[in-house]
Structure 1
Amino acid sequence: MNTVFGVFGDPIAHSKSPDMHNAAFRELGMNCTYHAFRVSPENLKDALLGAKAMGFGGVNLTVPLKQEALKIVDADPLAEGIGAVNTVDFKDGMVGYNTDGLGAKRSLEEKGVKIKGSNVLIVGAGGASRAIAFQFAKDGADITIANRTEEKAIELAAGVSKVGNAKGCGLENLKQLIADSDILINCTTLGMHPKTEGTIARAEDMHSELTVFDIVYNPLETTLLKEAKKAGAKAVTGEMMLVYQGAEAFKIWTGVEPPIEVMKKAVLEGF
């Protein structure tokens, strides 16, 4: 019998997760399939209960569902601390996990970027931002979270301060914040398909010693990353965060080590 997995979100048509996971299932000869489902926050509980009732193996959650899921699932301590869930497993009830922070960490480390001791500026205060801020603070980075709604950034920073150094602010002094940073991470949807012209910063706002990481992966080279290259900064694309967080979810669901290179190839072939 085929076991179904999926990703819930809104919007969801852009997701490369089905390509990635289905390639891994094929490579390993597993009788499983993975699909994308458009689910709004108000329908998340029904969608999760329905998936469990129909025998799904597990689901991923993306924008805007990661924080809403905390009200519904039994979150593990890491996801509870982060305040966001991106992976749900159905083997023993509905258990929520968060693999985003580890995915981001591995994406930067494979590019030779040092996290410990770095000044990291995260723009945005949503689910992915929460995961990355907690992970990087725990790993010894100094975190600044800048968000359009300053109160959200301050609130998130207060939570992150339980595991490391963090502060929150608005976007008014973004240029100076970038100047003072070693790593800039875009955790907003600016620049994501189909509105690809959006960006949180331009080349003139950046410096050549900066690493710019955009978690948006569709398009692969966002406007922000194009601007980073103009400034001589290191540009890191978002597809490996998708791959590494997906690999962690795959292991949670199946107990099997997934084929990372196969997953990466499947994601890149979609562009």
Structure 2
Amino acid sequence: MSTLSLGLIGFPIQHSLSPWIHNHFMKKLGINGEYVLYETKKEHFAATIDRLKEKQLNGFNVTVPYKQDIINYLDELDPDAARIGAVNTVTQINGKWKGYNTDGMGYVQSVRDYYPDLFQPKNRVLILGAGGAARGIYRALVQEPFSIVDIANRTFEKAQQLAELKDDHVETNILSFEEAQLRLEDYDYVVQTTSVGMNKEETIISLDNLKKGAVVSDIVYQPLMTSFLKEAHSNYGKIHQGHAMLLYQAQLAFQIWSGKQFGLGDTLKLMEERLRGNE
């Protein structure tokens, strides 16, 4: 039976679901191991990295605020992670560290499993926000068949930087949140990538103009039903909840570490029950 030594570095992370998720995967696959939280303040980041190298971990996850900082400590980067400029998964191979970004790929796969017919050139996509989470998601979406993937953000410059990640077949227009709200009926798929919504009463834009039947996704996973998703549902939208992204990106990371392919089975349902218990 194989053994894995894994962990997560970030700040703050004490309430992270990652230990539960990865311990569940290990149990599911009959793998012995541990998944440890390395909560680290900015001034201790370099020292924590030295500790991780001494521990000879099989791999670890990286979360805010270190997804870009970690790159300087890696020996190799997956090409897509290099282009995104952020790493959330590190694996150790023969003493060398290689970085990946599974956020975008995991997110897209989670949406595809729910709404496989969505991924067509005719469908227009709107991403709300242009921060760190948006980078992996945008990069993954522009590799899909969509011909239009627009970005709405408070600052034009940050959205423009994000649009530089696009592929040639994709058109990207940059909007303010006010413009996005007015033009919402143009979109078949809307992705909310900001932290707005962790407060149950907040939404990034109004969804009064939502196209009937549009897919609306929120990457915030606590609460499970954000105000944004509730409003989408009341305006006849199809919803996609944030915990799915968290689970699917973790699945890809675990496959990198373990070399094993596996399905999620009832894991998503178990995760929903756990999150509802925390609300």
Asked if these proteins are the same fold (TM beyond 0.5), I'd say yes
User: Aligned in 2, Cα 1:45/1:116: closer, same or farther, shift over 3 Å?
Assistant: farther
Q: Secondary structure at the match of 2:142?
A: helix
Structure-2 separation of matches of 1:161 and 1:29: 40
Greater relative contact order (CA < 8 Å, ≥ 6 in sequence): 1
User: Aligned in 2, Cα 1:170/1:61: closer, same or farther, shift over 3 Å?
Assistant: farther
The gaps in structure 2 that reach 5 residues or longer are: none
Q: Does the 8 Å contact 1:4/1:33 carry over to 2? A: yes
User: Aligned in 2, Cα 1:24/1:46: closer, same or farther, shift over 3 Å?
Assistant: same
User: Aligned in 2, Cα 1:11/1:146: closer, same or farther, shift over 3 Å?
Assistant: farther
Q: Does the 8 Å contact 1:158/1:167 carry over to 2? A: no
The count of corresponding residues between Structure 1 and Structure 2 is 269
Structure-1 separation of matches of 2:42 and 2:214: 36
TM-score, structure 1 normalization: 0.89
1:221 aligns with 2:225: yes
Partner of 2:208: 204
Q: Secondary structure at the match of 2:83?
A: helix
Partner of 1:179: 185
Q: Secondary structure at the match of 2:93?
A: coil
User: Aligned in 2, Cα 1:164/1:203: closer, same or farther, shift over 3 Å?
Assistant: closer
Range with bigger deviation, 15-24 or 205-214: 205-214
Q: Does the 8 Å contact 1:137/1:165 carry over to 2? A: no
User: Aligned in 2, Cα 1:253/1:114: closer, same or farther, shift over 3 Å?
Assistant: same
Structure-2 separation of matches of 1:172 and 1:69: 35
Range with bigger deviation, 171-180 or 131-140: 171-180
Q: Does the 8 Å contact 1:67/1:85 carry over to 2? A: yes
1:133 aligns with 2:133: no
Q: Does the 8 Å contact 1:144/1:168 carry over to 2? A: yes
Q: Does the 8 Å contact 1:120/1:184 carry over to 2? A: yes
Query: RMSD of the alignment, in Å?
Result: 2.2
Which residue of 222, 228, 236 maps to 1:232?
236
Partner of 1:20: 21
Q: What percent identity do the matched residue pairs reach?
A: 35
User: Aligned in 2, Cα 1:54/1:135: closer, same or farther, shift over 3 Å?
Assistant: same
Partner of 1:32: 33
Question: CA offsets per residue over residues 9-64 of structure 1, 9 Å max, x none?
Answer: 33323422211111111122211122333234554443333222212221112233
Amino acid at match of 1:31: N
User: Aligned in 2, Cα 1:27/1:207: closer, same or farther, shift over 3 Å?
Assistant: same
Structure-2 separation of matches of 1:261 and 1:35: 24
TM-score, structure 2 normalization: 0.87
Partner of 2:6: 5
